[in-house]
Each structure stands twice: as structure tokens, then as C-alpha cells.
Structure 1
Amino acid sequence: MTSLLFRVALIIAVSISSISFAATLPDLKGRTILAVTENAYTPLNFVDADTGKGIGWEYDAMNEIGKRLNAKIEWHLSSWDTMIQAVKQNQYDIGMDGITINEERAQQIDFSIPYMTAQQFMLVRADEERFQDAESFAANDDFQFGAQAGTTNFYVAVYNVLDGDENNSRITLLETFGASVQALKSGDVDSVLMDSASARGYIGANPGQFKVIGGPLGSEDFGFILTPDSDLLKPVNAAIESMRKDGTLEALNKKWFFDYNQ
């Protein structure tokens, strides 16, 4: 009942917020924004098992940005390894997949201001007792990470836990983030690194299957990616800032990281 009341209150609050900021935010006059994601990063973007539709924190946030800017969000799907290039080439206007803001990526595309700050943690199976933290994991060559190439999770595994060799055989490369988690669940790998928000999402969606061990392995800021020199950058940034100020971002955190699947 408490969760239901919160969701009703959230809908009302978001609706009021959209109206109150409409007069001060840019008006895109019904423009269609092509948004792309992967549907493989719970709880930011994933497929609802009941409806088959994409849902998650980033879906809600981007749809709310569209409302505040008087724009229509048209959703598309892309694999992680082609997403940045597709946005760079203007196939889509804006992309999202828990993408960490960093200098290398910023040379290819434009980033919005951060919409979330997260820390990396080690997700393991709930019955894991062979290692307790990054140090004890690194000390045993038998332990294997699962990761998606080119992601923050991959680079933290390489440089913060292992030996800095990006070809280290102790990292099993999977095509999607979800495949990495499935490999962990089935015992094919021993740990997957992920931000704290997603770790809570997977633990909540899989009761008794996973746990987090050790401390944080660094923090990261997530941002939406846009085509270089996009005229959407300033409007999107203004919408994000308005959502931060009126509590909408925090309400989405509550909904997806604490209430979902609880």
C-alpha cells in the first residue's frame, strides 16, 4: 500500500512539476526527439517481462524531459557497441545506457550535465565465500570477471582490480550487460562490476541470488549523449536541472532503486 501511495504521489508531483516549469524552459513546439537505449541495464533501461515494453529510470527521465520541453520522445534500440557512433553520426538525437561521462567519449559526442552519480561495486552470487573484496579476488587467478567490452565496468575491472592489461584472460567478454549478470548467475563467471544503482536493481529483481561485497571502487557520473553541437543540449540540460531542483530525479531514484520489485 505504501508503495502504491508513493507511485500515485509521484505521478501527481511530476505532473505539477511539468506544468510549473513549462513557462521557463525552452519550448520545442512538438519536435520529435529520437532517443536510443539498449534495454539491458536494469533498472535504468530493461524490458518489462509482463508487457514486453522498455521501462526504467532513463525511460521515465527522458519522457519527463520531453514533457517539460514540449517534445515527443520516439524510442529506438541499439547495441552498446554501436550506440555512441550512431548518435555521433546523427542517426539518433540522444542516447542513454548508464553512460559514464569521460574525456575519451566526450571527444566523439556531447554529454548532458550529469543526471546521476554512482559508485562501482562487486556483484557476486549470494553464497559466495571464496573472496570478500577486490584484493582477495585479484589474488586468485582462478576468479573470473564478466564484462561488456568498452564499458566502465570493464575498465574498472582492468585498472582498479586486476593488472591493467586490457587483454587479461581473467575477464570474460559478453555481448550485453545482462548477459554478464546471467553468466554470474549460472556460475560461468565469479563477479560483475556495476554501479550501486544497478546492483540494487538486480538484487531486488532476483531475491536471494546476489549480493554486493567489498567497498566502492570509484565513482562515476552518468550523462545523456547527444550529437556534437546539437541544439538540444541546452534545453535538455535545463530540463535536467529543473528536475533536480524540484525533486523529480530523487523521486525516480526512490521509485526504481528502492520500490521496484520490493
Structure 2
Amino acid sequence: MSKKTIVYLVVAALVALFGLAGCGGQKPAANEGKATVLKVGTEPSFAPFEFQDEKSKDYVGFDMDLIRAIGKQMGAEVEIQSMGFDGLIPALEAGNIDVAVSGMTITEERAQKVNFSKPYYKSGLTVVVKTGNNTIKGFGDLEGKKIGAQIGTTGAEEAKKIKNAQVREFNTPPEAFMELKAGGVDAVINDKPVNDYFMKETGSKDAQQVGEPLTAEDYGIAMSKKNTELADKINKALDELKQNGEYDKIYEKWFGKKP
């Protein structure tokens, strides 16, 4: 092989090498141009916070509108997954979802496992009984009664504190209400706005809400303790929605009044 040929091959190789490097530098990154995805877990039987629309099958409700607005404010695409309420925190811990928004009360026990956003809704627990039941007028009359509640909720925790109560836990609030209607339980303990919505939908023909709320509870958006950066972004977006009036619009849409 002549020196001329060797020089030519070396030059050709260098041109090819730098040409490929140049092309590689111009290639967009794998995620460039793609929206950030926010994986959201919820238990969609907690109307009016989260439930499935019968016609569209979309997940709708106050929580669903709020988390979509938060995602939009963050520039993220929201993907909602349905799962059992008692499976939400394990799903966060396993990294299967980024956030859980499901009318979840901020408690010390839960806060040991997950990070919570700033509170976004204030709730409380109330009692629902069958229409015409005059023996139960509030929490003080539940001793020794059969009580229904949703598994993993603060309603179930409070029911278990009642002396001699027979507590039955259900996967969803509608299941507890159905059991009340059938006479399988004497009362149901649940979050007041959910009970309010149930009463509104049934027209109080099957059940009635009695007594004063037992507790004042704050709902929060739950996230993995490993992702503190996400918690900051969620809180920032929530603050911005309250400042620009979007939060008030969503609240009024679902509760008929301003917060």
C-alpha cells in the first residue's frame, strides 16, 4: 500500500468519525419534546372527589379536576390509574405511581410513610343511617352497633374505637351504603362531603345523615418520601391555582359554593 493511499484512508476515517460525532450531537435526546408524565393513583368510588362517569368512563370529580389542573400548571401530562384505597401508599412506596389523590386525610401515621402536599380540602366524619332510624342520632349512639366503613380510611379507624361496635369494612363507599340499605349494618361512617353527595343523589329516600361532624380533617396529595422535588412542584402549582382563581372555579363546580 502506498503512502498516498494510507494518507487518504486516514483522512477518510477522520472525516467519517467527526461526521458521525456531529450527527450524534444534533440528535434530540430520547425524552426531548416529550411531556413529563405524572402517574396518578386514585380509588374512583369516592364521589364527588373521584368517580367514573357512566357515559364517558372518564375519571371525574373535584380531585380529578384539581390534579389535572396541577399537572397543566407544571407542564406535565396526567395519567390516572384506578386502584384500591389501601393500595395507594404501597404503590407510592414501590414507585408504581408518582402521586395519590383520593380524598386522603393527612394523618401522622400516613405521614411516616409518604410526603403530603399542603392541605387542599377540609373535611370531617359524619354518620349515615337508614331513613326513619330515630335511635341513632350521632356518634354517641353507635356503641354496640353494626357499623360500615371503607377499608383503610379514617372512618374505619374511628369506627373501631367505638365500644362493642361490630365494624364491617368495604372496598368502596357505595358498597357500605348498599349494605346499610339492605339492613346489614346500622350505620355508615364516612367523610361528610361524600355523605352529602350520596344524600343529594338518593334524595334522602333511603338514608339520612345524623349528628355533627366528629373531626376536622385535611386532605392532601400523597407522594413518595424519596421525591421531595416533586412535593415542592406540587405545592407551587397548588399555590398558583389558588392565586389565579382556578382552584375556586373547580371548588365551586363540585360543591356549589366558594371555598
TM-score interval w.r.t. the shorter chain? 0.7 to 0.9
Question: 3-state SS of the aligned residue for 2:194?
Answer: helix
Give the one of 236, 240, 243 matched to 2:238. 240
User: C-alpha deviations, 1:121-173, integer Å up to 9, x for none?
Assistant: 112223322221221232xx3x31101232101112223xx13xxxx551112
Quote the residue 2:157 is aligned against: 155
Distance 1:186 1:252, change over 3 A: farther
Q: Which runs of 5+ in 2 are unaligned?
A: 1-33
Quote the residue 2:208 is aligned against: 211
- Residues 156, 217 of structure 1: 8 Å contact kept: no
**How far apart are the structure 2 equivalents of 1:53 and 1:67?**
18
**How far apart are the structure 1 equivalents of 2:211 and 2:128?**
9
User: C-alpha deviations, 1:215-255, integer Å up to 9, x for none?
Assistant: 11011111111111312111111111222233433332322
Q: Which runs of 5+ in 1 are unaligned?
A: 1-28
Report the more deviating stretch, 250-259 or 199-208: 250-259
For residues 157-196 of structure 1, the aligned pairs below 5 Å read: 157-159=159-161, 162-163=162-163, 170-196=166-192
Give the one of 69, 75, 83 matched to 1:70. 75
1:67 counterpart letter in structure 2: K
User: C-alpha deviations, 1:2-56, integer Å up to 9, x for none?
Assistant: xxxxxxxxxxxxxxxxxxxxxxxxxxx8211101101111111111122222211
**How far apart are the structure 2 equivalents of 1:252 and 1:127?**
35
For residues 61-210 of structure 1, the aligned pairs below 5 Å read: 61-138=66-143, 141=144, 143-159=145-161, 162-163=162-163, 170-208=166-204, 209-210=206-207
Runs of 4+ in 1 over 4 A off after TM superposition: none
Quote the residue 2:5 is aligned against: none
For residues 43-58 of structure 1, the aligned pairs below 5 Å read: 43-58=48-63
- Residues 111, 224 of structure 1: 8 Å contact kept: yes
The alignment's TM-score, normalised by the length of structure 2, stands at 0.80
- Residues 200, 257 of structure 1: 8 Å contact kept: no
User: C-alpha deviations, 1:68-120, integer Å up to 9, x for none?
Assistant: 11110011111112111111111100012111111111111111111111111
**How far apart are the structure 1 equivalents of 2:207 and 2:112?**
36
- Residues 201, 257 of structure 1: 8 Å contact kept: no
| RMSD (Å), alpha carbons | 2.0
Report the more deviating stretch, 219-228 or 245-254: 245-254
Larger radius of gyration: 2
- Residues 103, 219 of structure 2: 8 Å contact kept: yes
1:240 counterpart letter in structure 2: L
Distance 1:255 1:87, change over 3 A: same
**How far apart are the structure 2 equivalents of 1:247 and 1:119?**
25
